[in-house]
Amino acid sequence: GAEAQTALAIAIVPYGLEAKVETSLREMMAGALDILNEAGATLVGGHTSEGPELALGFSVNGLADRATILHKRGMVAGDVLILTKSLGTGTLFAADMQQKAKGRWIEGALKSMVQSNRLAAQCLFNHGATACTDVTGFGLLGHLVEMTKASGVDVEIDLDSVPILDGALETVRLGILSSLQPANVRLRRAIRNQDVARNHECYPLIFDPQTSGGLLASLPPEQAQLCLQALRDIGYGQAAIVGRVTTESDHLEPVTLISQPN
């Protein structure tokens, strides 16, 4: 991927006394600088304003080497699929808004969200990843479908192996879903065996939109276990092998969901 070089901040601080506003802004920038310094990027300026809610974003510029960029295309039949972070931020924070999420669930989700994908991306590249994307608003299925279309392949996903954040299954059972979930569920048409798979407890979570989700990558099978162990060694403890790439078939649906019978 690209190496970050510079960043511009866009910050909104809640209305308040001048001293309080300055303190809030200083704390925001201090936290941001910790992460930017870790990534080797320099904060060169930005824009601040006051508003009803706290908000912070960045416009980041970087440099990329064409020879080392991983694309969504490139998956090959026989490749193994690795997901570097657990799913569930969408349902968990929807539950938090309804005051139905336990504190330890949100703490676990935040811990996952603040973990950078930078080291994971380098690890995947070092182990010969053939394609890669980040799992964000379209959920696991949405981003996986983009990869299958770009690569001209089909895939199998093992629902039993998909890593899930603590508490996400509980909030899904309560019927608490992200507001973006309905749009993502429309992609169920890409699933070949949805009538069978929809009863699996993890099924709703493949549509769950992620905030700061992990990376989904395909690797040669001989590198998969080595890469998985390396990811766990550098701090991605929830990384898991979640499926495999198969030859493109005559079916319109590129995704098959599998699981062990109860």
Do 116 and 13 lie in one domain? The reply is no
DSSP 8-state code for residue 70: -
Is residue 1 over pLDDT 90?
Answer: no
pLDDT of residue 152 exceeding 90: yes
**Per-residue confidence band for 73, with pLDDT thresholds at 50, 70 and 90:** very high
261 pLDDT above the threshold of 80: no
56 and 143 part of one domain: no
- Given pLDDT bands bounded at 50, 70 and 90, which one contains residue 68? confident
Could you tell me the CATH number of the domain that includes residue 38?
3.30.1330.10
Q: Confidence class of residue 55 from pLDDT cuts 50, 70 and 90?
A: very high
Is 68 inside any structural domain? no
What is the pLDDT averaged over residues 44-70?
Answer: 91
56 and 157 assigned to the same domain: no
Enclosing domain of residue 203: 80-258
Do 139 and 34 lie in one domain? The reply is: no
Are 42 and 97 found together in one domain?
no
Could you report the per-residue pLDDT of 154-197, keeping only the tens digit for each? 999 999 999 999 999 999 999 999 999 999 999 999 999 988 88
Residue 29 lies in a domain: yes
Domain with 165 in it: what CATH number? 3.90.650.10
Q: Are 101 and 92 in contact (CB under 8 A)?
A: yes
11 touches 46 (CB < 8 A): yes
- pTM for this prediction: 0.91
Task: For residue 55, give the 3-state DSSP assignment.
Answer: strand
Ranges 59-68, 193-202, 234-243, most confident: 234-243
Residue type, 82: I
State mean pLDDT over 103-117. Answer: 97
- Provide the pLDDT for residue 245: 98
Whether residue 218 sits in one domain with residue 109:
yes
Q: Is residue 196 one of the residues assigned to a domain? A: yes
Kindly report, residue by residue over 111-133, the tens digit of the pLDDT: 999 999 999 999 999 999 999 99
Is residue 219 domain-shared with residue 153, that is, in the same domain? yes
pLDDT of residue 262: 59
Angle at Cα 131 formed by Cα 127 and Cα 132, nearest 5°? 90
How close are the terminal C-alpha atoms of the chain, in Å?
Answer: 41
Number of domains in the chain: 2
- Helix and strand element counts for the chain (H, E): 9, 9
